[in-house]
Amino acid sequence: MDKDIDHLFRHHSGKMVSVLTRIFGLQHLDIIEDAVQDTFIKASLTWRKQLPEYPEAWLTKAAKNRVIDIFRTLKSHKKQLPKITRGTDTIAINELFLDTEIEDAQLRMIFTACHPKLEPHDRISFALKTVSGFSTKEIASALLTKEATIKKRLMRARKAIKNANIKFNIPQGTELPNRLDSVLEVLYLIFNEGFHSNSKTQLIREDLCAEAMRLCQLVLTCKQTQRPESYALFALMCFHSARLEAKMSVNNEVIDLKQQDRSLWHFPFIELGNSMMYKAVETEHFSCYHYEAAIAAEHLKAKTFEATEWEKILKWYRALYHLQPMPTHILTMAVICMQLKDYKTARTYFNQIEAKDFEQRAYLYYAAKADYYAETNAINKALIQIDLAINTVNNALEKAYLIKKKAALL
């Protein structure tokens, strides 16, 4: 029950902070967050005796009641605040708590949190705090960072919003595409951290995957942001989420794509992803999300690992690399060439990159190199590379997986 309440609080917190920010303005964000936190503390104490029949409605009503309290707190700033009296003003406040208005307020908060004038790391932290209701401790845990660092990022984000006089709105006209790019990038990074976590003990953070999908769905509720790249990103999230259950065994062991039980793949997610892709391809210009979704779809289409159309996947990766030249794409192309038994081209790709290009994920480079040497019968070289991978990997589950691979080589 406590877990359900925590989930409800987190989910509802973002809603309430967004709505109250729309009423009072970004300059009062600190007070708003404190007020929402107070509401939830009060709820947790009240609910110990009995959970209300409609918890969300209870929280919404409590948040509305806090509106007047906030006004009293801010009485020294009367000139900056709208005057709330009885009658029409109260009706206007109530209307802001309608479902459609809550969605609109959250979408405004997403665009505020992901503004390009905020530092990239600050955007992710600020979005998880204000839109998703994560605590600083939860954000620190999710991003493998100290709480003090997260607090600094949040302070920096608030300062940037104030200094740049960022408005609490959804951008219009020519400003929208650039701002949307920033929003989609943040949602992509949140999802990726959930899908392949840097945590030492967890490989998958389903809460982050689910939150990124929820926020992406919010983006798709607005006509202005129903862009091909938005649909493509959501399709990609659906395709990846379809495989989550098959990535780990019942014994909490990593299962690679080749060994995954494809009957565990979640068909409704695949179906939803396909429907999103139909909308995404109604354009002449494809984004990186289009190509990544196309690659994920190819894996899902194959009935067995051996039936995978690697040539097609390589084609999409080359197109992706043209748009987004990154060492990770070169490494993946080398791995695909190994699947095609084209070791000469694989070696050409490996020669273009080094372990240091991958920073904390250098173990992926060493593991791929180990596979290359094993495939080309250079077992001693393969063992050297697999040892480097084992010694540089952070995640305990991935380390266990690599140790098993070494045992197979021996």
Query: Residue 365 is part of a domain; what is its CATH number?
Result: 1.25.40
- SS3 assignment, position 286: coil
pLDDT at 319: 96
Instruction: Give me the pLDDT at residue 78, please.
Output: 54
pLDDT higher at 136 or 369: 369
Residues paired with residue 248 on neighbouring β-strands, in sequence order? 254
Q: What proportion of the chain, given as a percentage, has pLDDT over 90?
A: 48
In contact, 127 and 113? CB cutoff 8 Å:
yes
Considering the domain boundaries, does residue 50 fall inside one? Answer: yes
The answer to whether 28 and 74 are in contact (CB under 8 A) is yes
Residue at 176 is within a domain: no
Domain assignment present for 79: yes
Lowest mean pLDDT among 79-83, 107-111, 172-176: 79-83
**Cα–Cα distances in angstroms (integers) from residue 259 to residues 204, 255, 305, 364, in the given order:** 18, 6, 8, 18
Q: What is the pLDDT of residues 206-259, one digit of tens each?
A: 888 998 999 999 999 988 899 999 999 999 999 999 999 999 888 888 888 999
Domain end: 71, 97, 123, which one?
97
pTM: 0.85
Asked whether residue 360 is domain-assigned, the answer is yes
Tell me how far apart the alpha carbons of residues 33 and 126 are, in angstroms, rounded to a whole number. Answer: 12
Last residue of a domain, one of 97, 117, 145: 97
> Is 335 domain-assigned?
yes
- pLDDT tier at 73, thresholds 50, 70, 90: low
Would residue 408 count as lying in a domain? yes
Single-letter residue type at 344? K
Q: What is the pLDDT of residue 87?
A: 43
How long a stretch of residues is the chain? 410
Inside any domain, residue 25: yes
Range of the domain at 54: 1-97
How many domains would you assign to the chain? 2
Beta-carbon contacts of residue 318 (< 8 Å; ≥ 6 apart) = 333
Residues 13, 133: contact at Cβ < 8 Å? yes
What is the per-residue pLDDT for 230? 96
Least confident of 62-66, 356-360, 363-367: 62-66
Cα-based distances in Å from 85 to 19, 21, 60, 151, 228: 19, 19, 20, 36, 44
Q: Please check whether residue 361 lies inside any domain of the structure.
A: yes
Q: Count the neighbouring beta carbons within 10 Å of the beta carbon of residue 109.
A: 27
Q: At what angle do helices 206-219 and 228-241 cross, to 10 degrees?
A: 150
Closest of 93, 34, 36, 100 to residue 62, by C-alpha: 36
Question: Residue 296's pLDDT is what?
Answer: 96
Which residues does 174 contact at the CB level (< 8 Å), separation at least 6? none
Asked whether 244 and 207 are in contact (CB, 8 A), the reply is no
What type of residue is 68? I
